[in-house]
Chain A
Amino acid sequence: MRESRMMQIQYATGVLALGLVTVHLLMQGVLVPYGEAVSFQRVLSIYRSAVDGALLEILLIVILAHGFNGLRVILLEWRQGGRWTRGVNWTLLLVTIATIAYGTRTVILAATGQVS
Chain B
Amino acid sequence: MEDVTLRIQRFDPSTERAPHLESFIVPLTEGMTVLDALLYAKHRLDHGISFRFSCRMASCGSCGMKINGKPRLACEAQLAEIGTTVKVQPMDNFPILRDLAVDLDGFFAKHAALSPGITRKGDPGEQESPTGEYLMKPEELDSLVQFTYCIKCGLCSSACPTSSTDALFPGPQALAQAYRFLSDPRDEAWEERLEAVDRDHGVWRCHFAGTCSSVCPKGVDPALGIQLLKRHVMSGRSKQKRGASLFPNPNRGLLEPEG
Contact = CB atoms under 8 A, between A and B. Distances in A.
Interface of A: 2-4, 6-8, 73, 76-78, 80, 85, 89
Interface in B160-180: 162, 165-169
Contacts of B168: 80
A37 B200 CA distance: 42
Contacts of A4: 198, 204, 233-234, 237
Given A4-B204, A4-B234, 5 more contacts: A3-B199, A6-B204, A7-B204, A80-B168, A80-B201
Looking at chain A's contact residues, the main secondary structure is: helix
A76 B198 contact: no
Contact of A77 (B166, B198, B199): B166
B210 interface: no
Interface of B: 162, 165-169, 198-202, 204-205, 230, 233-234, 237
A76 B200 contact: yes
Nearest to B164: A77
Given A80-B166, A80-B167, A80-B168, A3 B202 contact: yes
B135 to A, nearest CB: 32
B113 to A, nearest CB: 15
Contact of A3 (B162, B167, B198, B237): B198
Contacts of A77: 162, 165-166, 169, 205
Q: Taking each of A4, A8, A73, A85, which has the highest tally of chain B beta carbons within 10 Å of its own beta carbon?
A: A4
Given A2-B198, A3-B199, A3-B200, A78 B165 contact: yes
A11 to B, nearest CB: 9
B234 A76 contact: no
Nearest to B234: A4
Nearest to A88: B200
A2 B237 CA distance: 12
A85 B233 contact: no
Contacts of A7: 204, 230, 234
10 contacts: A2-B198, A3-B200, A3-B202, A4-B198, A4-B234, A7-B234, A73-B204, A76-B166, A76-B205, A77-B162
Contacts of A73: 204-205
Nearest to A78: B165
A8 B204 CA distance: 11
Contacts of B162: 77
Nearest to B167: A80
B96 to A, nearest CB: 20
A78 B168 CA distance: 11
Contact of B204 (A3, A80, A89): A3
Contacts of B233: 4
